[in-house]
Amino acid sequence: MVIEVESLDLPKKHPDPLVNVGSLHTDKQLEEYSKQYFEADVRGFTYTYGERLRAYRCPFCNAVVDQIDFIKAKLSKFPLTNQAVAVLYNPLKDPDKERHNDPPCWNWVQFRIRDGELHITALFRSHDYCKGLYPNLYAIAKLAESIHKGPRKLTLISTSAHIYEADYRTALKHVGPYNAIYRV
Q: Provide the annotated active-site residues.
A: 105
Q: Which residues of 120-155 are buried (b: 16+ CB within 10 A; e: fewer)?
A: bebbbbbbbbbebbbbbbbbbbbbbeebbeeebebe
Maximum alpha-carbon separation in the chain:
50
Using CB atoms within 10 Å of the CB of residue 11, give its burial: 0 to 12 exposed, 13 to 18 middle, 19+ buried: exposed
Nearest to 68 by CA among 159, 144, 168, 158: 144
Residue 116 CA to residue 123 CA, distance in Å, equals 23
